[in-house]
Structure 1
Amino acid sequence: MSLSRQQRFPRARVSVRAARQFVGDTLGEWGFGDRRDDMRLCASELAANAVLHGAPLGREFSVRLVRAADAVSIEVRDTGPGMPKERRPAPEEFCGRGLWLVKELADEFGVRDEVVGKTVWARFKVAGA
């Protein structure tokens, strides 16, 4: 059995925090404590990418959580063009590490091309709640 929960957010910087809170609250309701901080951090990074690079002006992005027996997936979908690319920033650079961080923390990571836009997802193996 799987459960899912989804919420839409406006293309605004405050939405990154709201998306992280949505993920944390949902995981709490589902009874997950294990890896919760990693999942919240990854949700922040994926939401920040949607705000900064994915969602066109005036559009929204969505965050969807899917709970399965042994995993939780976080999916962030936007309607913008282009596909995200993992960067290798220089040590003195202040940004550009988000996708690398998600890739390191999640057990699986990927990008799904949609008819309009894309979905960036991260999957975390977890013990049942």
Structure 2
Amino acid sequence: MKTIQKSEVDRQQKHGFRFASMLTSTIAMAAFGAMTFSAAHAQDTNSRIFGKAPTDGTITAHSDTGITRHGTANSKGRYTLSTLRPGTYVVSLEKDGKTLASLSGVPLFVGAASEVDFACNNDQCTASLAR
């Protein structure tokens, strides 16, 4: 009788251990999935401003919430200011500490970029929001 009871106890212990292992694995996978979803969701809350600008200037975007980003145009005259939060921005072209052109009221929405182009003829620069 002792042999039967011992094997029954061993079987129940193994079953309990397997259940605990599976439960722990399930909880760990659920936690990892939640973290992955949060990270992917967080990426969707940003936007960007891009466009054309002279290569010798600095492009600055300043939001109504205090976020500021600076960038320069590449050799092809293209720039991108990324990881910007939704809001309303003032986008400026600056050179040697002087603002050459500025465009206020540039809207940014979740997952949607805005294009602001700068054009300069001699010392006169203009900014335009592409629609």
TM-score calculated relative to the size of structure 2:
0.29
TM-score, normalised relative to structure 1: 0.30
Greater strand share, structure number? 2
Higher RCO (CA 8 Å, separation ≥ 6 residues): 1
Structure index of larger Rg? 2
